[in-house]
Structure 1
């Protein structure tokens, strides 16, 4: 088995240190913007994958929601600032159900 070189290990960057370097420390405006964009992309990607599982086009999904195809594209790409109610409406059409959990 190979031995880990502690000197080399100490020189490795962590994911957090790389994020700090590129986007600033947690709590800074640039880091908060990065976090918001990351979440928007994540949820948009989740909706896109489910839409594809159902073999729906963006246009078909948009028609079911009474929206434009370009709106669905922006949501899926994390470029639309949507309200929570809109997100739930899209999720419901895709058969995704959210059950609220309250933590003390």
Structure 2
């Protein structure tokens, strides 16, 4: 093996070092934040595909623009009922959940 590659770590090893191994409090908190961010990105993309502004989506579901912004940026926990309202009523899409 080439000596300059000895210190290369996998992404999983990097996460273990930075956030702790799976199952630890720190790692669990990181994974929850990562999922929240991913859901926000999905909502943002669907909103843009629907050619809606954050303000328009907020008005459609009876919320404030700042709430939509916090969700899209992964800075707000979202209840399942709110997620349903956002996707089904706000964006006219369907939710399909898969548990693995």
Q: CA deviation at 1:26?
A: 0.6
State whether structure 2 residue 81 is matched by structure 1 residue 85. Answer: yes
Q: CA 1:74–1:29 in structure 2 vs 1: closer, same or farther (change >3 Å)?
A: same
Q: CA 1:45–1:12 in structure 2 vs 1: closer, same or farther (change >3 Å)?
A: same
State whether structure 2 residue 62 is matched by structure 1 residue 69. Answer: no
Structure 1: unaligned runs, 5 residues or longer: none
Structure 2: unaligned runs, 5 residues or longer: none
2: distance between equivalents of 1:13 and 1:99? 35
| TM-score normalized with structure 1 length | 0.84
2: distance between equivalents of 1:11 and 1:40? 32
Q: Larger Rg: 1 or 2?
A: 1
